[in-house]
Amino acid sequence: MNKQIRKLLEHYKQISLLGKVSALAHWDLEVNLPPKASEERAAQLAYLTSIRTDLWLAKDFRSIIEDVDVSKLDQKEKAIVRNLRDSAKFYYKVPKEIIIKEVETTSKAFMAWKKAKEENNFKDFLPHLKQIIDLDLIIANHLGYKKNPYDALLDLYEPGLTAEFCGKIFNGLQPELTTLIKQIQKTKRFKNKSGLVGGDKNYPEQDQKQIALYVLRKMGYDLDAGRLDTAPHPFETKLGRHDIRITTHYHVNDFLDSLMGVMHEAGHAMYEQGVSEEYTNTPLQGGVSLGIHESQSRFWENQVGRSMEFVKFIAPVFQAFYAGQLGKTSTEELFAAVNDVRPGLIRVEADEVTYNLHVVLRFEIENALMNKKIKPDDLPEIWRTKMKKYLGIVPATDREGVLQDIHWSHGSFGYFPTYTLGNLYAAQFAAAMRKKLVIEDLVEKGEFGTILSWLRSNIHQYGSLYWPDELVKKVTGHALSPKHFLKYIREKYSQIYEL
C-alpha cells in the first residue's frame, strides 16, 4: 500500500471510531434518553464533535488529503482519497464553532420535536426549527454553490445532487403518478377499502414484534450483529462492524405498518452488514450514498414485502398469530391490504403510488425555505395547502402534518429527495436482478438468501468503493432512469386495480 494512504488510514481510524461512539449516543438519544437529559446529551455530543472535527483538521492529515498524487494510486486508493476529499470539504469549509453549534442545537431540537409531536404543538418546536434553518443556511453558504443554497445541502446526502435535477425527476414522476391515482380512485376495488387495519382492530405489539423478528431472520439480517428496538421514528444506525441496529414503531390497530417498516430498516442494515470487512474503519466502509442506501430499504419493503409472493409466504404466519382477528382472510385480501392505494397523511405509511408525492411536497418546502421564499411560521398552512394539491387530503393536526417527520429536528435538509432516488434505483436494480433470478419464485418459497447473495455480490460488498453513478452503471449497464420505476408501478397496479 502507498505510504501516504497508509498514514491516512491510520489517522482516519480514529475519526471512524469516534463517529461510532457519537452514533451510539445518538441511538440512545432517540431510543432511551429521559426528557430531562437533553441538555447534558447535547453537551456530550458537542464535545465528541469537537474532538472529531480536530481530527479532520489535523495538519499532516489534511496535507496528505489535499496534496497526494492520485495518478500513482490504484483503484481502491483513489477511492479512499476521493471519499476523504468529499467528506473533508465540510470540515475545511464550515467553521468548527458552527459544526458544534449545529450538533448542540439538533440534539436539543430532537427532544423538543418529540414533545411537540406528542402534544400537537408546532409553536413549541418552531424556535428550534428556526435555529436549525439559520444554521443550515450558514453551512450552505460556507460549502458554496453555483445556483441554489439547497444544492450544497443535497450534495451532503447524494454526491452532485442538485435541486434542478430533483425538479426534473419529480416533474417526470408527478403527472404520471397523479394520473394513475385518479384512475385507481375510479375503480370498484378502490371503493372497497380493506377492513383489516385501523379502527378498533387489535394486533398486540408483542405479536407484531415476534413476526418482525421471524421475517428479519428469514431475510438474512444478522441479529447477533444487530438488534430491534422501538423509537418515535424508525431508523437504522451503524455502531460497529458487528453492531448494526434498527428500530420500528407499532400501532395496535395495524399489523402491516410495523412489518413494512422493519423490512425497510433491515434493507439499510443488511447493506451495512454486507460491506467487505476489509473496509472497516476506512473511508470505504458503509453505503456510498443515501440514494443507494434507500434503494436497499425500498427494495425489501416494496419489491419484496408488497409482492403477492411474499403475502403467500407470510399469510400462514399472520393467521397463526391473529387467528381471531383475520379468521379465514384470503391471500388476495391480505395482498389488497398491503397494496391499498389510498392518499394518506403519513409518509412512512404511504403506498408505493402515493409515496413520492409526499417527497415532492417536502422537497418543494425545503427548497423554498433555503431560498427564503417562505417563512417557518407559515409551514403548517403551507403543508396543508400542498397536501390538498398533491394528495387531495388535509391533515387535521400538525402531528399528522408538518410535525410527522424527524428529519428537520436532525437538521437533515436535503435528505428527503433521496427516498425517491431510492425508489428509482431499487426498480432499476430489481430489473437487473430479474435477468439472473426469478425473484417471485424465491420470495414465495422464503428463499431470501439467494436474493441477498445477489445484492451482496453486486452492491453491498463494495461499500463506498464506487460513486453512485458508477455503481448503477456497473450493476445495470446504464445511468439512473425513472423508466424502470414507472414501468413497475404501472404494470403492478394496473393489474391489481384492473385498469
Per-residue model confidence (pLDDT) at position 191:
81
Q: How far apart are the first and last CA of the chain?
A: 59
Res. 221: pLDDT tops 90: yes
C-alpha atoms less than 13 angstroms from C-alpha of 140 in its C-beta half-sphere = 27
pLDDT, averaged across the chain:
96
- H-only helix segments in 96-186: 96-119, 122-143, 149-154, 163-185
Per-residue model confidence (pLDDT) at position 30:
96
Per-residue model confidence (pLDDT) at position 327:
83
Per-residue model confidence (pLDDT) at position 330:
94
Cα–Cα dist 147/249, whole Å: 39
* Catalytic residue (choose from 265, 272, 301, 352): 265
Per-residue model confidence (pLDDT) at position 358:
98
Res. 153: pLDDT tops 80: yes
Q: Is 349 one of the annotated active-site residues of the chain?
A: no
Q: What would you measure as the largest C-alpha separation in the chain, in angstroms? A: 69
**Per-residue pLDDT tens over the stretch 78-115:** 999 999 999 999 999 999 999 999 999 999 999 999 99
Per-residue model confidence (pLDDT) at position 175:
94
Residue 230 β-bridge partners = 248
With pLDDT > 70 as the criterion, what percentage of the chain qualifies? Answer: 100
Mean pLDDT along residues 184-211 = 91
Mean pLDDT along residues 257-274 = 97
Cα–Cα dist 497/187, whole Å: 7
Question: Measured between alpha carbons, how far is residue 277 from residues 75, 78, 79, 244, 273 in Å?
Answer: 17, 19, 16, 14, 9
Which domains are seen in the chain, by residue range?
3-144 (1.20.58), 163-496 (1.10.1370.30)
Cα–Cα dist 376/355, whole Å: 24
Res. 193: pLDDT tops 90: no
Collect all residues with Cβ–Cβ distance below 8 Å to 339 and sequence separation of at least 6: 306, 351, 352, 492, 493, 496
Res. 435: pLDDT tops 90: yes
Per-residue model confidence (pLDDT) at position 199:
85
Cα–Cα dist 74/360, whole Å: 40
Inter-residue contact 366 to 360 (CB < 8 Å): no
Res. 192: pLDDT tops 80: no
- DSSP letters for 242-271: TEEEEEE--BTTBHHHHHHHHHHHHHHHHH
**Per-residue pLDDT tens over the stretch 368-391:** 999 999 999 999 999 999 999 999
The pair phi, psi for residue 68, each rounded to 5°, is -60, 140
Whole-prediction pTM: 0.95
Collect all residues with Cβ–Cβ distance below 8 Å to 217 and sequence separation of at least 6: 223
Per-residue model confidence (pLDDT) at position 295:
98
**Per-residue pLDDT tens over the stretch 471-484:** 999 999 999 999 99
**Per-residue pLDDT tens over the stretch 68-80:** 999 999 999 999 9
Cα–Cα dist 499/493, whole Å: 8
Res. 203: pLDDT tops 90: yes
